[in-house]
Structure 1
Amino acid sequence: MKHWLKVLLVLTLVLSGLTLSNVVQAAGGEDEEESINEKFGLPIVVYGGTLNEDQKQEVREYLNVKNPEMVEEITVTGEDLVTYIEGEDRNARMFSSAKITRKEKGEGLVINRATPENITQVTDDMYANALLTAGIEDAEVIVASPVKVSGHSALVGIYKAYEVSGETLNKDRMEVANEELSIATKLAEEEGMDSEKVSELLTEIKKQIAEQNPATREDVEQIVEEQLAKLNIELSEEDRQLLIDLFEKMRELNINFDNVKNQLEQISTDIKNKIDEVVGNEGFWQGVQDFFRNLFQSIADLFK
């Protein structure tokens, strides 16, 4: 009799847990009616011009577009690519898509790749860094693709979204931002650097530029060299010069990173957290293993 009482107790606990889980899921699954931001207008969804209709619908789901009337939908093509980025190919295939929701000043940039398995080269932090360089500071951006792509062309779609919303971005800054993204992915691919380490390097250099306000190319070179040494990063001479040239262009454009220092700090914190998470994964999984071992042992003890 006692044996069956124990079985009944365990089943009751399990079923109670399942019931509570279902209640929580049901409560969290209720749709909230979307509202229109009268200051910034509707979120803008930019579809890569190469997408077919089935792929476009797939992207809508990735970008959480439940009601197409609650967003403004546009398409980005190779023609836009050559408009915003000098020297690019107007015949480029464009799959990367994005949803841009503008935010109040000071809210910062929130970047999310809805399909990280398909955006193979560009990370959230790389996008955030490049967008800050381009002059985009306060927005929520979701990037998605139904097929595997590098992710570079998403920048052009975001630029076009801002133009459609009535905001003018500096073309030189857009081109430098595109160059920054290309260098970031090049370092990750060719130098074998971890993507988070690349983003950390770019962010720390920008923070030092904001703090030191370099007046000459030599000052920029010193900042780059100091951050490479600080982060224990070794690059080929060619790639070191690419970095120096990149940040010298930013200096010549008088990009004031001091205005976005808080956002750079947030990117820096996010990167460090991701690195710590990777380092701590071994301990985490050991903890999970220990938890379930103890749980099963506790259940087994009920039947002794």
Structure 2
Amino acid sequence: MKKKLKIIIMMTLILGFVMGLASTSFADSGASDSNSINEKLGVPIVVYGDTLTDAQRAEVRELLKVQEATDVQEYNVTGKDIANYIDGDPNSRMFSSAKIVRQEKGNGLTVNIVTPDNITQVTKEMYANALLTAGVEDATVDVASPVKVSGHSALTGIYKAYDVEGEQLDKERMELANEELDVATDLAEKEGMSQEKVSQLLTDIKKQIAEQNPATKEDVERIVKEQLDKLEISLSEADRQMLTDLFDKMRDLNIDFDQVKNQLEDIASTIKNKAEELGLDQSFWEKVANFLSELFHSLGNFFKGLFN
């Protein structure tokens, strides 16, 4: 009887530990409520990936909390759109979908990834950074996909939503925002670079550009170097040049990040809190591996002792 009790207690502890890891790693915000229609700003806009089947479209509608078609303005985003807005491949298959709820001025930009397991490369902080670069402010944006995708194509749907609603965004800024997203996902694949750290780097560079208003490419290069040193990030010369070129293009386009400085502060704060919650220092995953190894070794000895 005592042996059975020990087994039950141990299995309960293990289950609690595993569930704790799951809730820390995979929790994300759900879609925003679209039941309430803002008569001043208009109904929410939903843009569906054109490749979705009827069943997948119905699934996305449920994920994005679209109860009735009359409650929202709906559009499809196609391969032609991705070529038009961000110079992408017109033969692209489009699955990522987005809902945009416009907010009163000053409310800021909020991004929710409703299906985090299916958006494999782009974090909500990466989306927020790219959308601010493109000129999207004061909105709640929900992103969802019924299948695993990188997450890049959702940007196209958001741009199209603003375009067809008469709030045309600057094409050069949209293309630059997509380039920024490509840089972010590329850096996040580098060894030792977490998605949170990449987002923090891009956000901090933008904050410094807003504060310092660099006049030359050399000034931009200095800011990039300072933020890399501050975050203790080591990049190859090619990657450092890629960052410098990206932010120098922003300087050439006269993108005024001072206007969205508060939102950049919010993004930076969110990233910092998330990193602290996850304990994402350089040796974090090594510590996890060692802990699990010791845990299962101890469990093995424990169960061996029970049945011997």
TM-score above 0.5: yes
Give the TM-score taking structure 1 as reference length: 0.80
Structure 1 letter corresponding to 2:159:
Y
Structure 2 letter corresponding to 1:178:
N
Q: 1:117 — aligned with what?
A: 117
**Is 1:223 aligned to 2:258, yes or no?**
no
Contact 1:103 1:140 in 2 (8 A): yes
Contact 2:184 2:198 in 1 (8 A): yes
Contact 1:191 1:235 in 2 (8 A): no
Task: Say which one has the larger Rg.
Answer: 1
What are the ranges of 5 or more consecutive residues in structure 2 without an aligned counterpart? 1-32, 288-308
SS at match of 1:119: coil
Deviation at 1:34, TM superposition (A): 2.7
Contact 2:220 2:244 in 1 (8 A): yes
Structure 1 letter corresponding to 2:135:
G
Q: 1:5 — aligned with what?
A: none
Residues 168-217 of structure 1, C-alpha deviation per residue, up to 9 Å, x if partnerless?
A: 10000000000000000000013441000000000000000000000000
Distance 1:36 1:187, change over 3 A: same
Deviation at 1:68, TM superposition (A): 1.7
Cα distance in structure 2, aligned partners of 1:50 and 1:63: 17
Q: 2:73 — aligned with what?
A: 72
Structure 2 letter corresponding to 1:269:
S
Residues 215-265 of structure 1, C-alpha deviation per residue, up to 9 Å, x if partnerless?
A: 000000000000000000011111111100000000000000000000000
Identity %: 68
SS at match of 1:227: helix
Cα distance in structure 1, aligned partners of 2:132 and 2:191: 24
Contact 1:42 1:71 in 2 (8 A): yes
Q: 1:172 — aligned with what?
A: 172
Structure 2 letter corresponding to 1:53:
D
Distance 1:191 1:94, change over 3 A: same
Residues 82-136 of structure 1, C-alpha deviation per residue, up to 9 Å, x if partnerless?
A: 11112x2100011000000011111011100000000000000000000000000
Q: 1:51 — aligned with what?
A: 52
Contact 2:96 2:145 in 1 (8 A): yes
CA RMSD of aligned residues (A): 1.9
Q: Which runs of 4+ in 1 moved over 4 A?
A: none
What are the ranges of 5 or more consecutive residues in structure 1 without an aligned counterpart? 1-31, 283-304
Q: 2:190 — aligned with what?
A: 190
Distance 1:191 1:247, change over 3 A: farther
Structure 1 letter corresponding to 2:79:
G
Cα distance in structure 1, aligned partners of 2:161 and 2:42: 12
Deviation at 1:166, TM superposition (A): 1.1
Higher deviation after alignment, 186-195 or 104-113:
186-195
Q: 1:287 — aligned with what?
A: none
Give the TM-score taking structure 2 as reference length: 0.79
Q: 1:25 — aligned with what?
A: none
Cα distance in structure 1, aligned partners of 2:105 and 2:36: 19
The correspondence of residues 1-304 of structure 1 with structure 2, limited to 5 A, is: 34-86=35-87, 88-279=88-279
Structure 1 letter corresponding to 2:190:
E
Cα distance in structure 2, aligned partners of 1:191 and 1:173: 29
SS at match of 1:141: strand
Cα distance in structure 2, aligned partners of 1:44 and 1:164: 10
SS at match of 2:240: helix
Cα distance in structure 2, aligned partners of 1:33 and 1:219: 44
Cα distance in structure 1, aligned partners of 2:104 and 2:112: 18
Contact 2:34 2:65 in 1 (8 A): no
Structure 2 letter corresponding to 1:166:
G
Structure 1 letter corresponding to 2:272:
K
Distance 1:147 1:243, change over 3 A: same
Residues 48-92 of structure 1, C-alpha deviation per residue, up to 9 Å, x if partnerless?
A: 011010000000111011122101110000100111112x21000
Higher deviation after alignment, 64-73 or 107-116:
64-73
Higher deviation after alignment, 183-192 or 111-120:
183-192
Contact 1:111 1:142 in 2 (8 A): yes
Contact 2:34 2:71 in 1 (8 A): no
Contact 1:63 1:144 in 2 (8 A): yes
Contact 2:208 2:223 in 1 (8 A): yes
Structure 2 letter corresponding to 1:210:
A
SS at match of 2:189: helix
Structure 2 letter corresponding to 1:253:
L
Deviation at 1:165, TM superposition (A): 1.6
Q: 1:10 — aligned with what?
A: none
Deviation at 1:33, TM superposition (A): 9.2
Count of residues in Structure 1 that have an aligned counterpart in Structure 2: 252
